[in-house]
Amino acid sequence: MSLSFEQNFKLGILGGGQLGRMLIQSGIDFNIPFATLDPDEHAPCASLAEFHHGKLTDYDTVMKFGSACDVITIEIENVNTAALKALARAGKKVFPQPDVIELIQDKRTQKIFYRDYDIPTAPFILVENAADVKKNKNFLPAVNKLGREGYDGRGVQILRTLDDLDKAFDAPGLLEELVDFEKEISVIVARNERGEITTFPVVEMVFHPVHNLVEYLFAPAQLNKTIVHEAETIARKIVHELKMVGLLAVEMFVTKKGKVLVNEVAPRPHNSGHQTIEANITSQYEQHLRAILNLPLGDTTLIQPSAMVNLLGEAGHTGLAKYAGLEDVLKLPGVHVHLYGKRFTKPFRKMGHVTIMDGDVERLKKKVSFVKQTLKVVA
Amino acid sequence: MSLSFEQNFKLGILGGGQLGRMLIQSGIDFNIPFATLDPDEHAPCASLAEFHHGKLTDYDTVMKFGSACDVITIEIENVNTAALKALARAGKKVFPQPDVIELIQDKRTQKIFYRDYDIPTAPFILVENAADVKKNKNFLPAVNKLGREGYDGRGVQILRTLDDLDKAFDAPGLLEELVDFEKEISVIVARNERGEITTFPVVEMVFHPVHNLVEYLFAPAQLNKTIVHEAETIARKIVHELKMVGLLAVEMFVTKKGKVLVNEVAPRPHNSGHQTIEANITSQYEQHLRAILNLPLGDTTLIQPSAMVNLLGEAGHTGLAKYAGLEDVLKLPGVHVHLYGKRFTKPFRKMGHVTIMDGDVERLKKKVSFVKQTLKVVA
């Protein structure tokens, strides 16, 4: 038996950011030739593989790019799905499938999907505009989400009081019951064309005790077995019902009463799986490649407890990026630094991440604090 | 503190083979811009970074290539050291240093170095030509080695009987006492500019019981502590006395009497360190980058027992490479496949390698057998 991607093959990625970059880095092992498309000519992937400069949301641009590829995947959801559907009809392999991307692009259809398939999620109501939100004041406190184009915190806001109603989004979206959660967790699940499904161990986001910000990820999640099992079952069910091919990151809440509720999903490699590069036998990137190339899915076993710290642009610094404290962090045993190759930093821009491995969980947490206090992206 | 390689920097690699390829793959994490030089326009590095097509032994070619780089390193020893010396004089960082490369290029100067520095190695005599070899028939059985340009088994032969003397190399070389060894082992050691030295755990080459061929590598080596300590001490001593900067692979014999003797060294990433990509906290590739960029050396801890199987072109097959059995191997838990991107296979060409990790050593050995029997590079 031999594989089709060995000679004269091209895998196209819509998006040329850090997720695409780590996908390419992993694909070197399988000798996969890549092409990427991105609107930023200095995108992290630009120097690593064949690069095309253009808009991901433009039909003709995506058609032209995809026509020269054998398999097409994404590293960002905001892409032209009409072009992807036409490419799929023309015989290209497009994974995740365009209809899955479309369903996930809109938080409204995502929530309807959860409801239709009995997947636990916070109660919600659809709203068409700001007036609609105001009609539902009895639903407060709630999260007001835009249906489309909201990500990395944009297009999401909490409405607690009647005064907050004045800032309601004036576009199709939804109101979701505010979840009183104990923890935020994530399960990355993969499915290949032949229907095999594998999950990565549950990851836990640890929050800052004062500011309500994710400080770092921790694997494995410190949860009881029942909750772990429930989270994995939910992730499997979603990817099975979607019949999608590729990787799906399922972000979930664990409520104070121990219930697991789906927050949202992303059909691609995800920030909550960066640490799998070092900490698991198969990384999320290799798993995505295995899934979309219809290879057997890899062993997701966690080798050692690990943590992942996002390296964000320091507040007050905009310009050519410098990495202060890098040497001190590199001295620390068990640390892996990943820089994304972004020339310019700006406040809170994702510039890289640090994975830390340590068999001793308490020491691991101390190292997380050290990395967060020491390594700064400045201009 | 910030580092000099962040902006407008270029790291040049002489050689564009699989070692360069894995060095580039690792360097993506530090966002290092690479350039490579290789005489083969389809070299494994050609599609991964800035690529220059040219001879590594040509003074002008190496000068021109190196002049556009900030730091220059090698992934093969057979390079023009006169050009590297001129580049070093002109202020470029050249690691390993040209005089170290020169010393190691010639097996005669290598052996003299061991003798001068009291580093245990098999007794030897220098010979200038075939007539010289024949004069030393009382030294048989011996290994006859060419001084220069012998590697991967070329330029090395065993002379057991008087009849064998007829095939003696007719060029400057040496005769080395044939070592009755129990095991062949390797220690990879790194030294940075500030003189820090770190060793990787000792690796053992396991030989085929019938044919005298390395079947696979095994880490950690199954040796008693005294021998492990002796091997590490020798590796540290060599790199310290050479005052070299970069990675040095030290191949050694363990004799049946438990003595450790140096066989030969290579001043670069090495076949005996491939498994460090997955099995150790820091890989040999990242360690080489840390060393030559004068960063703190990384943690070399072995995370799990591991083995490495070379994927060689199948005998009788020459042409466009195909990987038979790849799917079956990818199904095996704990397996990592690395293909080097060589379009054409030929008998015994190094086409890739497979790293296997398993906490259970017996199961690990079974997996090694399965991989060797299953995965074949054919045309």
In the annotated binding site of B, the residues are 107, 145, 176-179, 184, 263-264
Q: Can you give the pLDDT at residue B6?
A: 61
Q: Retrieve residue A273's tokens.
A: 């799986």
**Among chain A residues, CA nearest to B48:** A48
Q: From the first residue on, what is the mean pLDDT of each consecutive set of 10 residues in chain A (379 residues)?
A: 64 98 97 96 94 98 97 97 98 97 96 97 96 92 88 80 92 94 96 97 81 76 96 98 98 96 96 96 98 96 95 93 95 96 91 95 94 95
> Looking at the predicted structure, is the pLDDT value of residue B98 above 80?
yes
Residues A68 and A90: beta-carbon distance below 8 Å: no
Which of 271-310 (A) contact B at CB < 8 A? 278, 281, 290, 295-296, 298-299, 301, 303-304
- Please answer yes or no on whether B29 and A339 come within 8 Å at the CB atom: yes
Q: Are residues B197 and B160 in the same domain?
A: no
Q: Are residues B254 and B360 in the same domain?
A: yes
Q: Which residues contact residue B256 at a Cβ distance below 8 angstroms, ignoring those fewer than 6 apart?
A: B180, B181, B182
Q: For A180-220, where are the alpha helices, taking DSSP H only?
A: none
Q: Does some domain include residue B353?
A: yes
Kindly report the nearest CA distance between residue A313 and chain B, in angstroms. 15
Kindly report the nearest CA distance between residue B285 and chain A, in angstroms. 13
Q: Does some domain include residue A67?
A: yes
Q: Does some domain include residue B271?
A: yes
Q: Does some domain include residue A335?
A: yes
Kindly report the nearest CA distance between residue B72 and chain A, in angstroms. 20
Q: Are residues B82 and B210 in the same domain?
A: no
- Determine the 3-state secondary structure of A172 from DSSP: coil
Q: Choose the closest CB to B303 out of A3, A303, A330.
A: A303
Q: How far apart are CA A30 and CA B170, in angstroms?
A: 43
Q: Does some domain include residue B109?
A: no
Q: Are residues B199 and B276 in the same domain?
A: yes
How many CB pairs (< 8 A) connect A and B? 110
What is the separation of C-alpha B21 from the centre of its chain, rounded to a whole number of angstroms? 14
Q: Which residues of A touch B311 (CB under 8 A)?
A: none
In b/e form, how buried is each residue of A142-160, taking b as 16+ CB within 10 angstroms?
bbbbbbbebbeeebbbebe
Task: Find out whether A256 is annotated in a ligand binding site.
Answer: no
Q: How far apart are CA B64 and CA B71, in angstroms?
A: 14
* Closest alpha carbon to B75 in B364, B208, B274: B274
Kindly report the nearest CA distance between residue B160 and chain A, in angstroms. 42
Number of domains composing chain B: 3
- Please answer yes or no on whether B47 and A30 come within 8 Å at the CB atom: no
Tokens 């023309």 correspond to: A90
Residues written for chain A: 379
The CATH number of whichever domain residue A61 belongs to comes to 3.40.50.20
Residues A42 and A58: beta-carbon distance below 8 Å: no
HEC assignment per residue over A114-148: HHHCCCCECCEEEECCHHHHHHCHHHCCEEEEECC
Task: Find out whether A178 is annotated in a ligand binding site.
Answer: yes
Q: Are residues B302 and B333 in the same domain?
A: yes
Last residue of a domain, one of B131, B162, B177: B177
Q: How far apart are CA B357 and CA B362, in angstroms?
A: 12
Q: Which residues of B touch A331 (CB under 8 A)?
A: 296
Q: Choose the closest CB to B334 out of A25, A28, A299.
A: A299
Range(s) of the domain holding residue A69: 11-94
Instruction: Write the CA distances from B316 to A347, B157, B312, B342, integer angstroms.
Output: 59, 24, 12, 17
Q: Can you give the pLDDT at residue B206?
A: 81
Kindly report the nearest CA distance between residue A164 and chain B, in angstroms. 44
Q: Are residues A185 and A169 in the same domain?
A: no
Q: Does some domain include residue A99?
A: no
Last residue of a domain, one of A140, A156, A177: A177
Q: Are residues B197 and B166 in the same domain?
A: no
Q: Can you give the pLDDT at residue B1?
A: 36
**Among chain A residues, CA nearest to B45:** A28
Q: Can you give the pLDDT at residue A151?
A: 62
**Among chain B residues, CA nearest to A320:** B7
DSSP letter for B249, please.
Answer: E
**DSSP structure string for B65-130:** HHHT-SEEEESSS-S-HHHHHHHHHTT-EESS-HHHHHHHHSHHHHHHHHHHTT--B--EEEESSH
Q: Are residues B162 and B190 in the same domain?
A: no
Residue B310: CB atoms within 10 A of its CB come to 17
Q: Which residues of B touch A35 (CB under 8 A)?
A: none
Q: Retrieve residue A89's tokens.
A: 């009809």
- Please answer yes or no on whether A6 and B338 come within 8 Å at the CB atom: no
pLDDT tens for each residue of A265-302: 999 999 999 999 999 999 999 999 999 999 999 999 99
Q: Does some domain include residue B77?
A: yes
pLDDT tens for each residue of B161-207: 999 999 999 999 999 999 999 999 999 999 999 999 999 999 998 86
- Please answer yes or no on whether A323 and B2 come within 8 Å at the CB atom: yes
Residues A120 and A234: beta-carbon distance below 8 Å: yes
Q: Can you give the pLDDT at residue B214?
A: 65
Q: Choose the closest CB to A281 out of B29, B47, B334.
A: B334
> Looking at the predicted structure, is the pLDDT value of residue B7 above 90?
no
User: Is the CB of residue A322 less than 8 Å away from at least one CB of chain B?
Assistant: yes
Q: Are residues B171 and B185 in the same domain?
A: no
Backbone phi and psi for residue B204, each to the nearest 5 degrees, phi listed first: -115, 135
Q: Which residues pair with A376 in a beta bridge?
A: A324
Range in A134-143, B56-65, B148-157, B242-251 with the lowest mean pLDDT: B148-157
Q: Can you give the pLDDT at residue A1?
A: 36
Q: Does some domain include residue A112?
A: no
Q: Choose the closest CB to A327 out of B1, B322, B324.
A: B1
Listing from the earlier edge strand, what are the strands of the sheet with A34-38? A50-53, A34-38, A11-14, A71-74, A93-94
User: Is the CB of residue B126 less than 8 Å away from at least one CB of chain A?
Assistant: no
Residues B184 and B214: beta-carbon distance below 8 Å: yes
- Please answer yes or no on whether B3 and A295 come within 8 Å at the CB atom: no
The CATH number of whichever domain residue A254 belongs to comes to 3.30.470.20
Q: Are residues B41 and B155 in the same domain?
A: no
* Closest alpha carbon to B272 in B151, B188, B348: B188
Q: Are residues A313 and A360 in the same domain?
A: yes
- Please answer yes or no on whether B326 and A1 come within 8 Å at the CB atom: yes
Q: What is the mean pLDDT of residues B76-100?
A: 97
> Looking at the predicted structure, is the pLDDT value of residue B347 above 80?
yes
In the annotated binding site of B for ATP, the residues are 107, 145, 176-179, 184, 263-264
Q: Can you give the pLDDT at residue A338?
A: 97
Q: Are residues B285 and B143 in the same domain?
A: no
Number of C-alpha atoms within 13 angstroms, CB side, residue B379? 16
- Please answer yes or no on whether A29 and B339 come within 8 Å at the CB atom: yes
Q: Can you give the pLDDT at residue B2?
A: 43
Tokens 């691991």 correspond to: A364
Number of C-alpha atoms within 13 angstroms, CB side, residue A248? 32
- Please answer yes or no on whether B25 and A21 come within 8 Å at the CB atom: no
Q: How far apart are CA A139 and CA A173, in angstroms?
A: 14
Q: How far apart are CA A90 and CA A83, in angstroms?
A: 10
Q: Choose the closest CB to B29 out of A33, A325, A337.
A: A337
**Best A9, A23, A24, A31 residue to mutate vs chain B (most B CBs within 10 Å):** A31
Q: Is the peptide bond before A220 cis (omega within 30 degrees of 0)?
A: yes
What is the separation of C-alpha A10 from the centre of its chain, rounded to a whole number of angstroms? 24
User: Is the CB of residue A30 less than 8 Å away from at least one CB of chain B?
Assistant: yes
- Determine the 3-state secondary structure of B219 from DSSP: strand
- Please answer yes or no on whether B323 and A6 come within 8 Å at the CB atom: yes
Last residue of a domain, one of A177, A201, A223: A177
> Looking at the predicted structure, is the pLDDT value of residue B3 above 90?
no
